[in-house]
Amino acid sequence: MSRLKKLEPEQWPEDLREIIKPENLTELEQGLMRFFAYRPELAKGMMGFAGALKTQRTLPDRLIELVRLRVAFFNQCRSCMAIRYTDAVNDGVTEDLVCSLEKPAEADNLSDAEKAALKFGELMATDHLRIDDAVYDDLREHFTEAQIVELGMHVAFFVGFGRLAATWHMVEELPEAFKDDSRPLTPWNQEAVVVR
């Protein structure tokens, strides 16, 4: 059960409802907005940032989704691990590919660029002070400076909001496989994921 009381859409300010159009979304798709609605002005700012990350993205959807799911594992954000975004699925993210995230350095279906981005995301989520010149040199083999900045902004968003979401424990709408928090969960080897 969620640790904070969710605000249902009818409790949201009218301007937030007009932006989100919650009547067109499932409860799972309404997601964290049911908490963010307590602070609608901050929610709108966060949505602007998240929207810019999506609409102004230069990195492949596949790469961003793989990094997002790897970070979600370290965050143990169950709602993050339960979701696969349609743009990423359309860009080649399959459950077989997600299974490669268990040991990305050993995976033969991940590109060297994806492995470098995944290593960066993993370190940001687990031990950011181990990110040194060598990590950035590896990133520069595959990405421009602007793309490295973009990757960093995505990862910072995933780490921060994923950890926050994990502490709020919003699991009621998740598939059953993602509700049991008595053990660590992985985004790989899951049959019940939700594509949005």
Q: What is the rounded average pLDDT of the residues 132-148?
A: 98
Is residue 83 scored above 80 in pLDDT?
A: yes
Residues 33-81: pLDDT tens digits? 999 999 999 999 999 999 999 999 999 999 999 999 999 999 999 989 9
CB 106 within 8 A of CB 196: no
Q: For domain 61-195, give the CATH number.
A: 1.20.1290.10
Instruction: Give the residue carrying structure tokens 């230069």.
Output: 58
State whether residue 191 is helix, strand or coil. coil
Q: What does the domain layout of the chain look like in residue ranges?
A: 9-55, 61-195
Q: How far apart are CA 55 and CA 29, in angstroms?
A: 19
List, for residues 166-176, the tens digit of each pLDDT value.
Answer: 999 888 888 88
Quick check: 193 pLDDT over 80? no
Segment 97-126, tens digit of pLDDT: 999 999 999 999 999 999 999 999 999 999
The pLDDT of residue 180: 79
pLDDT exceeds cutoff 90 at 179: no
Distance CA 149, CA 32 (A): 26
* 87 class by beta-carbon count within 10 Å (0-12 exposed, 13-18 middle, 19+ buried): middle
